[in-house]
Structure formats: structure tokens, C-alpha cells
A = this chain, B = another copy of it.
Amino acid sequence: MNIYDVSKKAGVSIATVSRVLNGNHNVSEKTRSKVISAMKELDYTPNIFARGLGLNTMKTIGIMCTDSSDTYLANAVYYVEQKLRSFGYDALLCCTGNDYINKKKYMSLLLSKRVDGIILIGSQFVNNSPGSDNSYIIDASSEIPIILVNGYLAGDNIYCVMCNDHDAVYNAASDMIKAGHRDFVYLYTSTSFSGMNKLRGFKDAMDEAGIHIDKDRFHLCTKSISKSNDYLSFIYEKNVPFDAILTSDDSLAVGAVKFAYKHGIKVPDELEIVGYNNSVLANCTEPELSSIDSKVEQLSSNAVDLLMEVLGGGSVSNINTVTADLIKRQTTKF
């Protein structure tokens, strides 16, 4: 079942069938309808592989994400896929895990599949420490546009969609300071660009208020409820006083709520807690978590818009920023 069968049935050439197929205007209404009914009768579907070969594109975008089962990333994948689809693009999903080797491998896999662009979801793909090797991304960008959702890497054909993480944490911390807090703890999960921005936001707010933060008070922590709980218990028993906790991820904030419960500390009266990402987890605890909404939907949507603009030949700014919101629930009272 191909274009020849249709052309035969309709009594026209394959060129005409192709024209009808692609909505070309240089076809008389009469011929067009002849062709269309022939296609219907034969239940014809164009062969997308042949088209791909000719046009050298299958209108497919590669999505890389370290772990699509992570709540935040899963949401981003969801929104990106939906948006891509709305532009008629397919999404080829690659869950890479956090291994450098695998990220590299999947990148070249996607290139070999000749996708039209690649969207890297999450901050785990770029290593922003000085002297780090991000060449697998740079190299790929010489062939097709690369979009980073919530990550930053400079490059000609690399586009970054980010949340103003620094300001979000800075503002939340400043509000807490205004509300009278001095004894802070900051827990974070990642030293990615985004992770470091959040941390700097925290530190800047502290600096500005002249609050000294010793190293017990900011802690790099596995993204896990229990690890967060454990660490807080650890410094609590060391008699480090604190009445305000900020985190880079809701799971850590949930751990903080559980820590407070375990030790009979009243939230928010004796301890205020702010999470990050405004995920489902925020609604699960008692009291419910105040959390910074990092606008994953808008981030994802902008990422696809940007990519489409680039693919359409438009010239686009390499950096696009989205503003986070603090969603106040019951773990804060400021």
C-alpha cells in the first residue's frame, strides 16, 4: 500500500498524490477529491520512514532526563511531551540515570536517531564546577539545538530555560529573617547550577542580615525523607539551635516535618519550614508544607517554545528565566 497504488486508483501520477498529501495548492479541486477518495478507499497511510529519508527529519525531539519517576522531572517530561505534540513533534524519551557515561551514551544515541533537537530535563546534565567536561553537550549542539530545562551551559546552539532559584530562596529566607528568625538550617540535594544558585540565595540573605552560618547549618543531603530527618536529628542532638529550615526539595522538607514530629517540636510555632518544587508531597504532611513553586509547567512550555522558534530559523535569546512563587501553607506563618 503506497503512493503508487493510490495514483493508479485515482488515475493520476504519484507527484499529484504527493501534492495532495502535503496540501500543495497547485492541484485542481477535482483531482484532489479523486485522490482523496482513492486514499480513503485504500485506507492509505503515508510511509513515514520514506518521508523521513527524503526530508531527513522525522519531526522528533529527544528528551533526556535522569529519572522520569522523580516527581519534579516526571512533571516536566509530561508538560514537555504535551507541548511538543501540540507542535506536531514526537518525543523520544531517554531516562539516563546519573552516570556520566550513560548520559554521554544516550546523547550520541539520540544523535544517531537524527532527532531534530534534544531537551535535557533537570539540572543534572551540566557540571558547572570549573574545568568540568561538558563536551558531550557542546559537541551535540554543533549538530542540533540543545535545550536545558533548569540547567545552564553557555554555547551557540544551547538554550537554557531556568527558574530564578537564587531570588526565590533569597526572598523566602529574607522574609523569615524579617519574621524574626536568626537560627537557620539549609538542606540541599545537588551542586548543580540550580542547586548552587539556591544555596547562594540562602547565603546572600544570611550575609545581608549579618547572620553567621557555620558549616553545620547548610548540608548537602541525599534526596530522601529519611536522610533529611537523620541529619536534623544529628545536629539537634548536637545542640545546634534552629527555628527555620529551608530546603532545595520538598522531600527534604517532609523529612524536616517528620523530624519535628519525632522531637515534639511544634511547626510552625517553634520551627518554620519551606520546601521547594511545590510537589504533591507538600500536601501530604501535617501541617502541610509551604513550598517554592518552581513553575515546572511554564519552564517546560517555554523550553518547547524556544526550541520551535530555533527550529523555525528564528533567533532566540540563549537564556530564558521564569519567576518562582512561594506557596504558603501551614509550615510557615510569616
Which chain B positions have C-beta within 8 A of A111? 45
What is the 8 Å Cβ interface bit string for chain A, positions 112-147, against chain B (1 contact, 0 not)?
111000000000000000000000000000000000
Q: Does A258 contact B (CB under 8 A)?
A: yes
9 further contact pairs, Cβ within 8 A, besides A60-B92, A69-B75: A48-B114, A49-B49, A52-B52, A63-B93, A69-B74, A69-B77, A74-B77, A90-B113, A93-B93
Q: Are B90 and A78 in contact (CB under 8 A)?
A: no
Q: Does A280 contact B (CB under 8 A)?
A: yes
- Distance in Å from the Cβ of A7 to the closest Cβ of chain B? 19
Nearest-CB residue, chain B, relative to A84: B93
Which chain B positions have C-beta within 8 A of A285? 284-286
Task: Count residues of A near B (Cβ-Cβ below 8 Å).
Answer: 47
Which chain B positions have C-beta within 8 A of A226? 283
- Distance in Å from the Cβ of A289 to the closest Cβ of chain B? 9
- Distance in Å from the Cβ of A44 to the closest Cβ of chain B? 11
Interface centre among A52, A257, A284 (most CB of B within 10 A): A284
Pick from B81, B91, B286: contact of A261, CB below 8 A: B286
Q: Are A91 and B93 in contact (CB under 8 A)?
A: yes
Q: Are A49 and B56 in contact (CB under 8 A)?
A: yes
Pick from B53, B67, B78: contact of A68, CB below 8 A: B78
